C-alpha cells in the first residue's frame, strides 16, 4: 500500500529544519537540521545560496523515503504571494530569500509556501493539540513573535495574505522600539529573542540566558523577564477580547 508522504521545511533565523512525514498521520519519518549561519549573507549570491541549501535538504529527505514524495511545504517568516509559491516581503530577515519562486526552483507537483507561524498553526490544527477545535489562535515565540488565526477550520489570511501577524500588535503606544514592524511597543519587541539585548541593556543576549539568570535569582533578570511575560499576557488577553477563540496555542518558533 502506498504511503502518502510529504516534506516540510522551516526557514528560521537560527536553523533550517526539514522533515519527511507520513502525510496521513503526521508521523515524522526523518528529520534534519542545519544552522542558518552564513545562509543569511548580505552578498549578491544569497539567493543562490538559499536555493542550493534547500535543494540539498529536499534531496536528503527524498532519499530517506521508499515512496515518491507527494507534496512539499516551505515555511518562512514574512508574507507569501497570493499563489503561495514565494515569500515576497520579509523586511530585515533572511537576506536573499525574498521573491525566490520555489515552484520553479524545486519543480514539485504540489508545493506550498506559507508564513512560518501559519504553517505551525495548520500543523497543530491537523495533527496536534488543535485537532478538535475550529477557532484557534497560535503565537510562535522565537527570534521574533509570529501568529496565526484559524476561523471555522480555515486559515484566515485576510487581504493580500497579511492577516494574523500578531507579534506586530502594539502593547505600549508610547514606546519607540526599533524593529521591523514600524509599530511602537509591539509584542515582538517585548518578547522576541532578537530584542533581549536591547531590553536588558546588553546584559543578556538571548531568552535562554535571561531566563536562566531569572531562575538563579538575578533581580534584574527577573524584572526584565516578568515584564516581557506580562506583555505577552496582555497580548493574549487582547486576542481573547477580539476573537474569543476556542484555543490559544503558544509554540516555539
125: left (phi over 0), alpha (psi -120 to 50) or beta: alpha
H or E element in which residue 243 lies: helix 219-243
Distance between CA atoms of 181 and 250, rounded to whole angstroms? Answer: 21
3-state SS assignment for residue 6? strand
**What is the reported pLDDT for 1?**
62
CA angle 212, 217, 223 (to 5 degrees): 85
pLDDT for 39 = 46
CA distance linking residue 184 with residue 230, whole number of Å: 17
User: Residue 172, exposed/middle/buried by CB under 10 A (0-12, 13-18, 19+)?
Assistant: middle
The cell for 95 is 537576506
Q: What is the pLDDT of residue 179?
A: 63
The domain segmentation of the chain, as residue ranges, is 5-115, 136-252
CA dist., res. 146 & res. 189, Å (int): 11
- What digits encode the pLDDT tens for the residues 152-166? 999 999 988 889 999
CATH superfamily of 5-115: ATPase, nucleotide binding domain (3.30.420.40)
Identify the H or E element spanning 31: strand 28-35
pLDDT given for residue 47 in this prediction: 78
Give the CATH number of domain 136-252; options: 3.40.50.800, 3.30.420.40, 3.40.50.10800, 1.20.1260.10: 3.30.420.40
Residues of the chain with pLDDT under 70: 1, 37-46, 92, 177-181, 253
pTM value is: 0.88
Amino acid at each position: 500500500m502506498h504511503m502518502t508522504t510529504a516534506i516540510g521545511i522551516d526557514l528560521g533565523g537560527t536553523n533550517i529544519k526539514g522533515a519527511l512525514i507520513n502525510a496521513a498521520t503526521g508521523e515524522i519519518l526523518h528529520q534534519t537540521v542545519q544552522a542558518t549561519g552564513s545562509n543569511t549573507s548580505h552578498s549578491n549570491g544569497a539567493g543562490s545560496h538559499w536555493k542550493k541549501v534547500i535543494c540539498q535538504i529536499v534531496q536528503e529527505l527524498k532519499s530517506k523515503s521508499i515512496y515518491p514524495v507527494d507534496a512539499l511545504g516551505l515555511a518562512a517568516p514574512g508574507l507569501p504571494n497570493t499563489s503561495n509559491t514565494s515569500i515576497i516581503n520579509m523586511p530585515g530577515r533572511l537576506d536573499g530569500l525574498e521573491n525566490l519562486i520555489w515552484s520553479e526552483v524545486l519543480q514539485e507537483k504540489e508545493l506550498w509556501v506559507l508564513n512560518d507561524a501559519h504553517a505551525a498553526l495548520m500543523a497543530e490544527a491537523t495533527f496536534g493539540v488543535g485537532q478538535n477545535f475550529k477557532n484557534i489562535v497560535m503565537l510562535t515565540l522565537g527570534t521574533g513573535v509570529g501568529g496565526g488565526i484559524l476561523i471555522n477550520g480555515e486559515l484566515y489570511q485576510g487581504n493580500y495574505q497579511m492577516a494574523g501577524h500578531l507579534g506586530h500588535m502594539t502593547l505600549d503606544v508610547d514606546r519607540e522600539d526599533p524593529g521591523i514592524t514600524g509599530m511602537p511597543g509591539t509584542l515582538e519587541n517585548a518578547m522576541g529573542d532578537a530584542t533581549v539585548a536591547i531590553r536588558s541593556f546588553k546584559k543578556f543576549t538571548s531568552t535562554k540566558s535571561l531566563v536562566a539568570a531569572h531562575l538563579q535569582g538575578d533581580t534584574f533578570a527577573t524584572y526584565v523577564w516578568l515584564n516581557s511575560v506580562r506583555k505577552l499576557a496582555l497580548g493574549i488577553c487582547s486576542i481573547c477580547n477580539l476573537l474569543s477563540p476556542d484555543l490559544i496555542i503558544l509554540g516555539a518558533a
